[in-house]
Structure 1
Amino acid sequence: MADKKAGAGETVVIKKYANRRLYNTATSAYVTLEDLAKMVREGTEFVVFDAKTNDDLTRQILTQIIFEEESRGEALLPVQFLRQLIGFYGGQMQGVLPSYLEMSLDSFSRQQEQMRGQFSKAFGAAPGAGILDEAVKRNMALFTDAMKMWPGFNALTPGGPAPGAAPETRAAPAPDPLAEMRRQMDEMRSQLDKLSKGG
């Protein structure tokens, strides 16, 4: 059902009906959340619209896919990360956080691709699973550390000040939050580069 892709560069339109059924207009067939998850993994771009109101439901459907994956035991998001994420809703950093997360995950994905390429050259077509697993764990640890460097995340980490609590000494606010974010991203890229070189 979800196997047939639209032409290169085309975005598939999915219609959601009142009975909660999802209809792929490119394949003229009904699809499930699992089919949509497969499309995401294959790199097929799609948008979801309400069939009656034409409202864009893409974000809701993607969130629902994550919920389904998490609830079936494919847990990827740490509990502490979810708590921190919820804490940002309605906060001052809500506008900046999406772009920061997008840059972080994009950098992480590029790093993983580089590592796979290096493993393929060193060990043949299929790298040792244990080595790759260890590398993924180290990358996730670096990603977590990088997230802690971001002032907003640090405030919600265990041992950090509770939200709303007055710190003993308050540091002067950074003059340019975007410049600080870029600096932190550069530090994270530097750490990931060292990791990919075996350092």
Structure 2
Amino acid sequence: MTEKAEGKSDTVIIKKYANRRLYNTQSSSYITLDHLSKMTREGVEFRVLDAKSGADITHQILTQIIMEEEASGEQMLPVNFLRQLIAMYGNSMQGLIPHYLEASMEQFRANQMKLRKAFEDSMESNPLARLAQQNIAMFQAAAAAFMPGAEGAATPPKPAEPAREPEAEADTKSEIDALRNQMLEMQKMLDKLAK
């Protein structure tokens, strides 16, 4: 039997008992704060309810998880930030702080996603990536020179090459042709030595 939050069928209900045990009503199992921490990182929505009173204590449990993370050496919150945060309690601006912090975190996550995308896009146009593709093409040409009959049969598919200028393409072809000729000459020399 699974209990869900009102209006949100995808929210997992966790019950906290007096003995400090947490019970996941979706999986019908007891869990720990580490499980809740993992669920949070995975984006699973959950609410923690006091088993006796039914009060929503999600905020307290999340704060407890942060305290345990900070105590275990995974400190993320600077001391100066914590002091300023404590000083805001009872201040007339206290009501604005949660919204401000939430908006700041959303902006941080959005910027993080943009940065990741920009990094991935830059890898596609990276000259070193192009050089690696050229090296693979030359290696395949060298392998084809040693095994002329297997040129089209067992060669792996070539990676998609970025568009190049005609001059660069001509240079690459001439380099491949030069390597192929050198390989053929080496093969001839090896054949003579084997006789």
In the other structure, the counterpart of 1:50 is: 50
Q: What amino acid is aligned across from residue 18 of structure 1 in structure 2?
A: A
SS state at 2:53 partner: coil
In the other structure, the counterpart of 1:69 is: 69
CA–CA distance in 2 between the matches of 1:123 and 1:83? 41
CA–CA distance in 2 between the matches of 1:80 and 1:107? 22
In the other structure, the counterpart of 2:96 is: 96
Q: Deviations over 1:54-75 (max 9, x none)?
A: 0110000000000010000000
Q: Does 1:86 align with 2:58?
A: no
Alignment of 1:1-199 (within 5 A): 10-123=10-123
Q: What amino acid is aligned across from residue 30 of structure 2 in structure 1?
A: Y
CA–CA distance in 2 between the matches of 1:17 and 1:92? 36
Q: What amino acid is aligned across from residue 15 of structure 1 in structure 2?
A: K
SS state at 1:18 partner: coil
CA–CA distance in 2 between the matches of 1:52 and 1:100? 34
**Cα distance, 1:120 vs. partner?**
1.4
SS state at 1:19 partner: coil
CA–CA distance in 2 between the matches of 1:34 and 1:10? 20
Kindly name which structure, 1 or 2, has the bigger radius of gyration based on alpha carbons: 2
SS state at 1:77 partner: coil
Percent of pairs identical after alignment?
57
CA–CA distance in 2 between the matches of 1:51 and 1:123? 51
Using CA pairs under 8 Å that are at least 6 residues apart, name the structure with larger relative contact order, 1 or 2: 1
CA–CA distance in 2 between the matches of 1:67 and 1:75? 9
Count of matched residue pairs: 118
**Cα distance, 1:9 vs. partner?**
6.0
Residue ranges of structure 2 left out of the alignment (5+ in a row): 125-195
CA–CA distance in 1 between the matches of 2:9 and 2:54? 22
In the other structure, the counterpart of 1:197 is: none
**Cα distance, 1:123 vs. partner?**
2.6
CA–CA distance in 1 between the matches of 2:107 and 2:86? 23
CA–CA distance in 2 between the matches of 1:117 and 1:71? 33
Residue ranges of structure 1 left out of the alignment (5+ in a row): 1-5, 125-199
